[in-house]
Structure 1
């Protein structure tokens, strides 16, 4: 079961992945690609998101069906950030997404069984230095992109809400429905 947990910054991804990992230690955890960057600037830009898209896609391509892995963020997250930058007029690359980014997203998503979306809601608030405008724009873009079957590669998509226990239970139910653990 190859799982990707997606959502904008400060949406609860790390908490859900941690809760899941504690309950299912047989799963390999893939951290947020940001943690794997050698040099990341403080200001999010298209280059930073493209680098993370590449990391998240390449690592998903390594796993065969039947692998037990849960990833914090996938390529769809970073395609959503690129979309959000465009919509906010902050794009550093004119003309939309590079075709390679879309192609890489499609190829990697073919290696995902379950895409878990954490839409904004509830009471997680971020300070101004966390760019709430980008956070909301990315959330909108991610939810829209997750409706595009051409990008999803057959992955089942669920939106989870509620507290930590409710979110974990929703993921476990989806895994059971798919014939997993």
Structure 2
């Protein structure tokens, strides 16, 4: 099974993916494209730019295309595309949107981690709070635009983990 965990920054995606990895023997984790690119020497701008998100989008496409089964993706092309659109709404994202639509068929389970109320990360990176909120709102809209069937997880990391594991063991649960 291929699982994509997506959402805005600092909502607990990485913590959740690491928890899932510990509970799903035989699975591998594809860490967030940002970190993989950074490790390979890519230098990101101090402030997020469209070019940085295009690079991450293309790298994510590569990761999804090259990965096998039983993998968990920490980020998916849809949330990277949302960042691109929020950072520079004047960029024509149609070709990216179409590519994202084709990759959706490659994923078996989508896990959306939204900003919760109350926000557990209120004071973290206040300079990026508006970006985070706008991406979260856009992802809510795009879930229906892309016609993605998702499980939206909430609560503690253990609650979130259990929601995903329950969905895996009972795929017909809503």
Q: Name the TM tier (shorter chain).
A: 0.7 to 0.9
User: Could you list the per-position Cα deviations for residues 17-74 of structure 1 after superposition, in whole angstroms to 9, with x for gaps in the alignment?
Assistant: 111111123111000000122221121111111111111122112245xx10000000
Question: Match of 2:63?
Answer: 59
Question: Match of 2:10?
Answer: 10
Q: TM-score, normalised by structure 2?
A: 0.87
Q: Does 2:82 align with 1:106?
A: no
Which blocks of at least 5 consecutive residues in structure 1 are unaligned? 86-90
Which blocks of at least 5 consecutive residues in structure 2 are unaligned? none
Deviation at 1:103, TM superposition (A): 2.2
Task: Calculate the aligned-residue CA RMSD, in Å.
Answer: 1.8
C-alpha contact 1:6 1:117 (8 A) present in aligned 2: yes
Structure 2 CA distance, aligned partners of 1:96 and 1:31? 27
Q: Does 2:166 align with 1:169?
A: no
Question: Match of 1:88?
Answer: none
Report the count of equivalent residues.
165
Structure 1 CA distance, aligned partners of 2:155 and 2:55? 31
Question: Match of 1:159?
Answer: 152
Structure 1 CA distance, aligned partners of 2:56 and 2:103? 13
- Say which SS state the counterpart of residue 73 (structure 2) adopts: strand
Question: Match of 2:54?
Answer: 50
- Say which SS state the counterpart of residue 167 (structure 2) adopts: helix
C-alpha contact 2:115 2:136 (8 A) present in aligned 1: yes
Runs of 4+ in 1 over 3 A off after TM superposition: none
Q: Structure 2 matches for 1:1-181, cutoff 5 A?
A: 1-37=1-37, 38-63=42-67, 67-85=69-87, 91=88, 94-97=90-93, 99-121=94-116, 122-125=119-122, 126-129=124-127, 131-149=128-146, 152=148, 156-178=149-171
